[in-house]
Structure 1
Amino acid sequence: MRFVCRRLLLFAGALVGLSLLVFALLRILPGDVAAVVAGTNATAEQLASLRSQMGLDKSYAAQYGDWIVGLLHGDLGTSVVSGKAVAAQVSSHASVTFPLIVFSLLIALAIGLPLGCAAVLTRNARLRGVFHVIAIVAGAVPALWGGLLLILLFSKGSGLLGLLPSQGFPDAGWSAPLSALAALMLPALATGITAGASIMRYTRAAVGDVASSQAVDMAMACGMTRRQAVLRVALRLATPQLVSVIGLTFAQMVTGVMVVENLFALPGLGSMLVTDVGNRDLVAVQSELFLLAAFFLFLGLLVDLLHRALDPRLKNATVGSGEVLA
């Protein structure tokens, strides 16, 4: 419990520091938000009234305090451009982004774990070389370029096979689940293949190290075949390392997915953030950036706790697993 409490306190402190950083960085950007919203023909009186309405006439400390109080009450503010609640906008766009991230991770796991274990189990030197080349080539292909190749091959209208849509998301959203899944298939493949190659390399390295240890020899001495010993013993012992890798890969996929969203014209968090930054929507951008960064911190905390729970050797450690990995 002391370890959990310590990690939660560090997490809370990191959130406070993160909020200060986001707030300060957005305030030093050039330009006047009120002038952007009011337009070029606005008078000085109109600008002053708008600044007062948006709270920009207050001190930075007061602005920060108002923002934090709103966050604690679940109020992310109101967009000065669209006039809509930022929380509602984030929720609407997250319904596209997070299913896409989960879908991409499932594809990455379906590729990385089996191929990584197969690379350890095979005794054929040529086949091991093939697995090695696959991991290097697939991992070196940027998700954006991979998405373009998938569009040329599988998209309806312009692709060679014309199987899947390549642009947009259905207006009905998840009320039409098959259409929604079809719209996410190509972007999920573009992100998942690259992440799967990374997971494959880590799986091969982690399971391969355990496969040459005494634990696997003991399992084989007890009557298991090498395949059974690797899949039942080595893979289980390598699970704590793989959980850390998968957690970090999941966090990295968030940024990768945001790039891919623009390629496939998906109304996700990436397109929303780019639009709000371009519009100088300060209220929306600071809340969106804070939520995304807080999500990264939460993933790190979750991986840290899972790693410690899965690896009994860390119970008496004086540092967290994230510090051990660093």
Structure 2
Amino acid sequence: MLRYLFKRILILCLSLFVASLVIFALIEVIPGDPASYMLGLNAAPDTVAALRAQMGLDDPLALRYLRWAGGMLAGDFGQSFTYKVPVIDLITARLVVSLPLAVLALVLAVIVAFPVGLWAAARRGRLSDGAIMAGTQLGIAVPNFWFAMLLVLVFAVKMRLLPAGGFAGWDSPLAALKSLALPAIALALPQGAILARVLRSALIETLGQDYIRTARAKGLSRTRALTAHALRNALIPVLTILGMQFSFLLAGAIIIENVFYLPGLGRLIFQAITQRDLIVVESAVMVLVCAVICVTFLTDLAYAAVDPRLRSRA
């Protein structure tokens, strides 16, 4: 197990290093000059040059990368060109919205997907199974931003149960959860539908294995075989989807954040790109990539916990 863990940590560190190089290179080739954007089109060339020097944009790329990467390792993400505050403060303020939103959406997706997937697998080929598969297909096909607007129309405008947008802050946890409820439901719908279909397929494949047929022949009920034996072995593809979904929910919720006017990390990146605030874009994207890589690392550990064969192959 220690060898397996060491290899995964080594891959984690290497992935973070390569990701930082790619992110820095991609951001640097984006057209446009931050200094010219901040000063306007009519700014004098010497003023623009002075601001570029002050922002460190004239330094060699290698030096700028080392300064940026070294600062992140030390917890210093630099200072925003636009907001004139430390980037870490901007990211932290947005993460307290994006991270709970992603966790809440994933929890809702799991709560719905697991019983639905188990029910569909247990009743394979029946009318209820067909209805569930049709429903999950509809959940995947419906755009989440359209579903979000429908939720606003029903629960905020008509019924006035939940706020239509904005974030109340964590000073009042109940108000904060109400602010995140509709966005989380909108994000959870397609993810729950995907997860239910994957779980159903994995369970059906597992139920066809010889050891399940042997257990059934010895008198084990179908429900018991499904929950006690098949479910554990069907978790590996499910864990893969869960890891990918959390990464998507954390990094890809920018549309939902804009629909509900949530001050999340995705919206911060969008605003920083339009303002040519390179240091914010680089650092925020790196935080998201780091989260994705760390989730993948934890998923690999979960694989080893579920399937001991993976530990023996390491």
* TM-score for the superposition, normalised by structure 2: 0.94
- The residue type equivalent to 2:165 in the other structure is Q
- The residue type equivalent to 2:97 in the other structure is V
- The residue type equivalent to 1:274 in the other structure is F
Across the aligned residues of Structure 1 and Structure 2, the Cα RMSD in angstroms comes to 1.7
Matched residue SS, 1:316: helix
- The residue type equivalent to 2:270 in the other structure is V
- The residue type equivalent to 1:209 in the other structure is E
Determine the structure 2 residue equivalent to 1:55.
Answer: 56
Matches within 5 A, 1:38-49: 38-49=39-50
Determine the structure 2 residue equivalent to 1:322.
Answer: none
Q: 1:208 aligns with which of 187, 204, 207?
A: 204
Determine the structure 2 residue equivalent to 1:257.
Answer: 253
Q: 2:180 aligns with which of 180, 184, 187?
A: 184
Matched, 1:308 2:298: no
- The residue type equivalent to 2:115 in the other structure is P
CA offsets 1:262-302 (integer angstroms, 9 cap, x no match):
11110101111111111000111111111112221222222
Counterpart CA distance in 2 for 1:153 and 1:224 is: 46
- The residue type equivalent to 1:34 in the other structure is A
Task: Give me the identity figure in percent.
Answer: 35
Q: Confirm or deny: 8 A CA contact 1:191 1:256 kept in the other structure.
A: no
Matched, 1:70 2:62: no
Q: Confirm or deny: 8 A CA contact 1:90 1:269 kept in the other structure.
A: yes
Q: Confirm or deny: 8 A CA contact 1:166 1:264 kept in the other structure.
A: yes
Q: Confirm or deny: 8 A CA contact 2:251 2:288 kept in the other structure.
A: no
Structure 1 gap ranges (5+): 319-326
Q: Confirm or deny: 8 A CA contact 1:143 1:256 kept in the other structure.
A: no
Counterpart CA distance in 2 for 1:304 and 1:252 is: 17
Q: Confirm or deny: 8 A CA contact 1:241 1:307 kept in the other structure.
A: no
Q: Confirm or deny: 8 A CA contact 2:272 2:280 kept in the other structure.
A: yes
Determine the structure 1 residue equivalent to 2:102.
Answer: 101
Determine the structure 2 residue equivalent to 1:162.
Answer: 160
Return the offset for 1:261: 0.7
Counterpart CA distance in 2 for 1:255 and 1:194 is: 16
Return the offset for 1:18: 1.4
Return the offset for 1:102: 0.4
- The residue type equivalent to 1:308 in the other structure is A
* TM-score for the superposition, normalised by structure 1: 0.91
Structure 2 gap ranges (5+): none
Counterpart CA distance in 2 for 1:240 and 1:294 is: 22
Counterpart CA distance in 1 for 2:205 and 2:24 is: 45
Higher mean C-alpha displacement, 286-295 vs 90-99: 286-295
- The residue type equivalent to 2:5 in the other structure is V
Determine the structure 2 residue equivalent to 1:235.
Answer: 231
Return the offset for 1:209: 1.6
Higher mean C-alpha displacement, 187-196 vs 17-26: 17-26
Matched, 1:284 2:280: yes
Q: Confirm or deny: 8 A CA contact 2:233 2:306 kept in the other structure.
A: no
